[in-house]
């Protein structure tokens, strides 16, 4: 294909993908694939400037405004940014600037996280918020003033109104926990899930009814103004500090950098912590700090010369569905998991991705053999964002949930109002195996020597089948087996003897009752004081306990009334298992009544050691920031959970303070979200 023909093809491709991404919020390809196409276009146009046309994607910014909102013309255009992908690209960026300025000495910069949200402009007159709009095509955007007024982090009145008019630019976004909560609610309501935080933010702001927007967990960070001169500041650093003083939220990870090498260092730091942040960032924006130099450098057709966006490796990619397996969990939930053609996603080779449930398969219209867009955030299991229908092969069959359990053959059920399909057979081998694994794990009775592989081995050999069978194993059962010797068998039996007298709360949590974790189990122990009392409790008795909801109450009542469960408790008793209630002295342990959450990296303890200390000292462990959580222990690089705990006024401890607490010393502090540098700007 000749260069001119390829150039036209690229323009058409990029125009279509830009429309899908910016206007429809429905991308067909990943960001990384789009960037490669755009770079190819720029290279061809640089080699043949006579072929550049006004309608080329390189000559415009973003997409068209939607018709359903009033249009707003930006007094000063909201430009896009050119991209960098490597450290050398950043050094080349500085070389270009120095040549343009005929300057030998290094430039100083501001480096700012590039949020994956929706760019907006906020207009303040005499300190009052009077208008808000999307970027749109850079010149004309959509009037979303009413919607932006509902975003709590956007001040309706600035702390000072010394400026007649201030046109603020920034990013509206949704953090990870907000997206999870929103998608859980949408799944419950039978609505389509948002693929990522950017789509969630864009979809939320493009609601005609501001009341809907108000229910969405949106946030905002400011990154600049249309006319820096009106602020009276000489540089980006001072201007961001001023904007923070005015009450506008400024990202805490911005950095002043004396030279380009400091910029590269900060890029490395952001790359290392990006998945620990409460929100998604897809790169770092680098700006010449000095406004006089910015003015001298000016702008090209679509982007300023004095700024560049260094993008992280893509965390989305396209691949193909090869097969689908249906996994049965310990509560009977059947989860479809796709086997994929292996593909690199953000530096990790991905070959499997969850499809969540049958409703999600239908919403995404997934077929066998589909080309799909997949994504991963942090170290979570990758998921399929959507099928690329345009690449679907003729005759491809839709993926459907099975009618019968793939393990036991029992007919599957999908309870009304639930998205999950379940196997109702409590004797299903898959459920029994996963219950056994949980029962013996650190989250259960923590029986040393009975890890996942050992449990699977003994289950496959039919030496254990139900939970009480764990305590009925004999030495002669283990010694002939591969991987088992006299020493390992003795070690296991010693651990099993200790596990026969667990605390009542630990025993209840180990059973794997649906909706019952460590915190709920502790509430049951403190309220009923014995297993016999719990077995005799009614639904009303359970529902009266503060902290136990309707779902957990009904689940407990149903579980304990099951004849097979009552028989199981008899077998536990016959095997010598005696769950015990905490004594008065144990209830006075340092962490009695505390529900702790660990986040970040601990220096002195492993995470398992820390959790063990909590349980030994009378506390409980939780996996998220909830109303029941009383204390968060924050290690290095603590991210979204620390932020959420601060916002809720929870007690925050360092690792050292946690260790002091175990010694009975009074430590800890209520966080107000403010640090030693309240303006959020680190000075160079």
Catalytic residues: 114
Distance from CA of residue 248 to its chain's centroid?
A: 25
CB 638 within 8 A of CB 276: yes
Helix (H, G, I), strand (E, B) or coil at 114: strand
**CA distances to 29, 340, 341, 391 from 319, in Å:** 11, 7, 6, 11
Beta-carbon contacts of 407 under 8 Å, excluding residues fewer than 6 positions away, are 328, 423, 428, 429, 430
What are φ and ψ of residue 387, in 5° steps?
Answer: -90, 140
Residue 62 and residue 450: Cα distance in Å, rounded? Answer: 56
User: Looking at 91-158, which runs of residues are DSSP E strands?
Assistant: 109-115, 118-125, 128-134, 140-142
Instruction: Count Cβ atoms within 10 A of the Cβ of residue 395 and give its class: 0-12 exposed, 13-18 middle, 19 or more buried.
Output: exposed
Tokens 């001023």 -> residue = 242
HSE-CB at 14 with a 13 A cutoff on CA atoms is: 24
Contact partners, residue 197, CB within 8 Å, separation at least 6: 116, 117, 173, 174, 175, 176, 178, 179, 279, 280
**593 φ/ψ angles, rounded to the nearest 5 degrees:** 85, -5
d(CA 179, CA 507): 34
Residue 146, CA distances (Å) to 69, 129, 179, 204, 210 in order: 11, 11, 22, 12, 6
Long-range contacts, 483-490 (Cβ 8 Å, 24+): 483/454, 483/457, 488/449
Task: Give residues with Cβ within 8 angstroms of 203, minimum separation 6.
Answer: 25, 194
Residue from 356, 363, 364, 359 nearest 380 by CA: 356
Strand 83-84 to strand 383-387: parallel, antiparallel, or no bridges (unpaired)? Answer: unpaired
Cα separation, 134 vs 267, in Å, equals 28
> How far, in Å, CA of 386 to CA of 425, rounded?
33
Q: Which stretch of DSSP H or E encloses residue 319? A: strand 316-328
Tell me which residue of 139, 148, 142 sits closest to 171, measured CA to CA.
Answer: 148
Q: How far apart are CA 307 and CA 294, in angstroms?
A: 9
Smallest CA-to-CA distance from 470 within 430, 490, 497, 431 is with 497
Q: Which residues contact 493 (CB under 8 A, 6 or more apart)?
A: 473, 475
Closest CA to 180 of 641, 648, 620: 641
2: Cβ–Cβ under 8 A, 6 or more apart, which residues?
none
Q: How far is CA 361 from CA 296, 391, 531, 539, 664, in A?
A: 54, 18, 42, 36, 52
- Burial class (CB within 10 angstroms; exposed 0-12, middle 13-18, buried 19+) of 133: buried
Pairing type for strands 128-134 and 118-125 reads antiparallel
Other CB atoms within 10 A of residue 189 CB: 8
């Amino acid at each position: 294909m000749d260069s001119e023909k390829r150039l036209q093809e690229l323009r058409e491709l990029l125009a279509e993908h830009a429309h899908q991404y910016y206007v429809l919020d429905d991308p067909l390809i990943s960001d990384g694939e789009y960037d490669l196409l755009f770079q190819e276009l720029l290279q061809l146009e640089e080699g043949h400037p006579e072929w550049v046309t006004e309608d080329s994607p390189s000559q415009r910014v973003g997409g068209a405004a939607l018709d359903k909102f009033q249009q707003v013309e930006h007094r000063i255009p909201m430009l896009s940014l050119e991209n960098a992908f490597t450290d050398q690209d950043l050094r080349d960026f500085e070389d270009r600037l120095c040549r343009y300025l005929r300057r030998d000495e290094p430039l100083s910069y501001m480096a700012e996280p590039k949020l994956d949200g929706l760019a907006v402009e906020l207009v303040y007159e005499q300190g009052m918020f009077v208008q808000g709009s999307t970027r749109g095509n850079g010149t004309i955007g959509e009037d979303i003033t009413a919607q932006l007024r509902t975003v709590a982090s956007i001040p309706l009145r600035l702390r000072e109104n010394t400026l007649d008019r201030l046109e603020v630019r920034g990013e509206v976004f949704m953090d990870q926990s907000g997206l999870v909560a929103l998608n859980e609610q949408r799944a419950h309501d039978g609505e389509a899930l948002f693929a990522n935080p950017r789509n969630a933010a864009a979809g939320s702001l493009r609601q005609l009814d501001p009341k809907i927007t108000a229910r969405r967990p949106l946030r905002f960070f400011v990154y600049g103004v249309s006319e820096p001169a009106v602020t009276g500041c000489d540089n980006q650093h001072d201007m961001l500090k001023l904007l923070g003083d005015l009450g506008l939220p400024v990202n805490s990870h911005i950095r002043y950098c004396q030279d380009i090498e400091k910029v590269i260092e900060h890029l490395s730091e952001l790359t290392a912590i990006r998945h620990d942040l409460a929100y998604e960032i897809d790169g770092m924006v680098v700006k010449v700090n000095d406004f006089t130099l910015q003015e001298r450098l000016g702008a090209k057709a679509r982007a300023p010369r004095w700024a560049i966006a260094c993008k992280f490796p893509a965390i989305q990619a396209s691949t193909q569905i090869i097969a689908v397996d249906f996994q049965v969990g310990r509560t009977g939930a059947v989860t479809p998991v796709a086997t994929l053609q292996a593909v690199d996603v953000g530096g990790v080779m991905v070959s499997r991705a969850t499809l969540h449930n049958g409703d999600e398969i239908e919403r995404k219209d997934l077929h066998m053999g589909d080309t799909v867009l997949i994504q991963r955030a942090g170290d979570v299991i990758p998921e399929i964002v959507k099928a690329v229908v345009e690449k679907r092969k003729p005759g491809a069959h839709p993926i459907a949930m099975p009618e019968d359990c793939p393990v036991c053959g029992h007919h599957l059920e999908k309870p009304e109002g639930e998205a999950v399909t379940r196997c109702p057979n409590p004797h299903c081998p898959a459920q029994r195996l996963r219950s056994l694994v949980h029962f013996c794990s650190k989250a259960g009775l923590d029986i040393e020597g009975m890890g996942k592989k050992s449990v699977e081995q003994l289950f496959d050999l039919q030496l254990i089948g139900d939970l009480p069978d764990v305590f009925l194993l004999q030495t002669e059962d283990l010694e002939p087996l591969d991987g088992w010797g006299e020493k390992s068998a003795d070690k296991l039996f010693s651990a099993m003897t200790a596990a026969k007298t667990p605390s009542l709360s630990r025993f209840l949590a180990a059973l794997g009752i649906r909706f019952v974790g460590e915190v709920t189990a502790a509430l049951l122990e403190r309220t009923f004081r014995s297993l016999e009392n719990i077995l005799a409790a009614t639904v009303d008795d359970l529902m009266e306990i503060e902290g136990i909801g309707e779902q957990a109450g009904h689940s407990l009542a149903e579980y304990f009334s099951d004849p097979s469960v009552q028989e199981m408790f008899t077998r536990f008793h016959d095997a010598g298992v005696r769950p015990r209630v905490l004594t008065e002295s144990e209830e006075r342990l340092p962490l009695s009544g505390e529900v702790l959450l660990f986040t970040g990296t601990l220096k002195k303890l492993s995470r398992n050691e820390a959790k063990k200390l909590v349980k030994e000292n009378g506390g409980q462990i939780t996996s998220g920031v909830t109303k029941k959580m009383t204390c968060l222990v924050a290690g290095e690089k603590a991210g979204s959970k620390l932020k959420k705990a601060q916002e809720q006024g929870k007690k925050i401890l360092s690792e050292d303070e946690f260790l002091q607490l175990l010694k009975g010393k009074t430590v800890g502090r209520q966080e107000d979200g403010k640090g030693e540098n309240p303006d959020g700007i680190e000075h160079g």
